């Protein structure tokens, strides 16, 4: 299938099909046409994800505290989402290539990079669902896990479809990756819980301390302004 060039309307249609019909989409994904298109696709996904990160931080509905720190983390998250997406599409292409090679599939870099870029449609979805982290960390982690498990499902059809890997190998590897993700989540939540019990630290405690520090900084700022006004008056 020939590459038709990059445009936002086709990106929207491709993204929708990749999400809702991964089997059909990855059976007809173009594997040639240069690296420009997958890079631009990853860039757009990164920008959209970054916008959600910024919005949730400014609205204080994410895992970050509001106020000065929330805004700073939101802005940093916005730019990191973009940079991470562009870098990530190359790393993702290499990871998909390794998986494809294990399963006896295509080992050329461009097709694997195109698969990685297509699966990165989950970036903005993960970012959009990030507000669950602000509700409850464990809930946010489970939702993120479900999104990532769907990513493995997409990868399975990509490896079987456009990358022409062996069906049984792809299926076994998908099960292994899914099991590892679940295991890491369980270990992570258990470790977090143990640390909180041992130290007494939790999300509310951290947010409370950050709020106190922000208030102190605001007071210091007001005092500096008062001192500057007094110095100006004395100078006159």
Pair 64, 208: CB distance under 8 Å: no
Using alpha carbons only, give the angle 161, 166, 171 rounded to the nearest 5 degrees: 85
> Looking at residues 142-161, what average pLDDT do you find?
94
pLDDT digits (tens, 9 = 90+) for 27-83: 989 988 889 999 999 999 999 999 998 888 888 765 544 455 556 677 888 889 999
- Owner of token pair 């979805």: 125
Which class for 69: exposed (0-12), middle (13-18), buried (19 or more C-beta within 10 A)? Answer: middle
Which DSSP category does 163 fall into? T
| % of the chain beyond a pLDDT of 70 | 81
Q: Residue 202: is its pLDDT beyond 80? A: no
Separation of alpha carbons 92 and 102, rounded Å: 15
User: What does the pLDDT read at residue 150?
Assistant: 96
Q: Single out the residue of 32, 24, 23 nearest to residue 5, CA to CA.
A: 32
Per-residue pLDDT band for 204 (boundaries 50, 70, 90) equals low
Give the chain's mean pLDDT.
84
pLDDT bucket at 175, cuts 50 / 70 / 90: very high
Does 206 have pLDDT greater than 70? no
More confident residue, 153 or 68: 153
202 vs 10, more confident:
10
Q: Note the pLDDT of residue 44.
A: 96
Domain ranges of the chain: 10-201
The band of 19, judged by pLDDT with boundaries at 50, 70 and 90, is very high
Which range scores top for mean pLDDT: 77-86, 93-102, 187-196, 217-226? 93-102
In the predicted structure, residue 1 carries a pLDDT above the cut 50:
no
Residue 91 in this model has a pLDDT that exceeds 50? yes
pLDDT score recorded for residue 32: 87
Closest CA to 128 of 218, 201, 77, 52: 52
What integer is the mean pLDDT of 92-120? 95
Q: What is the pLDDT of residue 2?
A: 43
């Amino acid at each position: 299938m020939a590459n038709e060039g990059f445009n936002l309307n086709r990106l929207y249609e491709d993204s929708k099909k990749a999400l809702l019909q991964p089997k059909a989409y990855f059976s007809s994904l173009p594997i040639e046409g240069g690296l420009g298109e997958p890079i631009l696709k990853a860039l757009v996904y990164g920008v959209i994800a970054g916008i959600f990160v910024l919005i949730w931080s400014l609205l204080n509905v994410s895992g970050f505290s509001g106020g000065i720190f929330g805004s700073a983390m939101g802005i940093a998250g916005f730019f990191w989402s973009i940079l991470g997406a562009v870098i990530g599409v190359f790393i993702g292409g290499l990871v998909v290539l390794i998986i494809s090679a294990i399963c006896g599939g295509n080992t050329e870099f461009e097709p694997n990079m195109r698969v990685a870029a297509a699966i990165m449609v989950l970036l903005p979805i993960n970012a959009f669902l990030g507000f669950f982290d602000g509700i409850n960390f464990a809930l946010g982690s489970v939702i993120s896990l479900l999104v990532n498990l769907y990513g493995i499902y997409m990868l399975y059809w990509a490896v079987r479809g456009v990358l022409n890997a062996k069906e049984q190998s792809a299926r076994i590897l998908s099960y292994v990756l899914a099991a590892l993700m679940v295991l890491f989540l369980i270990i992570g939540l258990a470790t977090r819980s143990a640390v909180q019990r041992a130290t007494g630290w939790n999300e509310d405690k951290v947010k409370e301390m950050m709020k106190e520090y922000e208030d102190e900084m605001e007071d210091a700022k007001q005092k500096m302004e008062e001192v500057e006004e007094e110095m100006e008056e004395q100078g006159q």
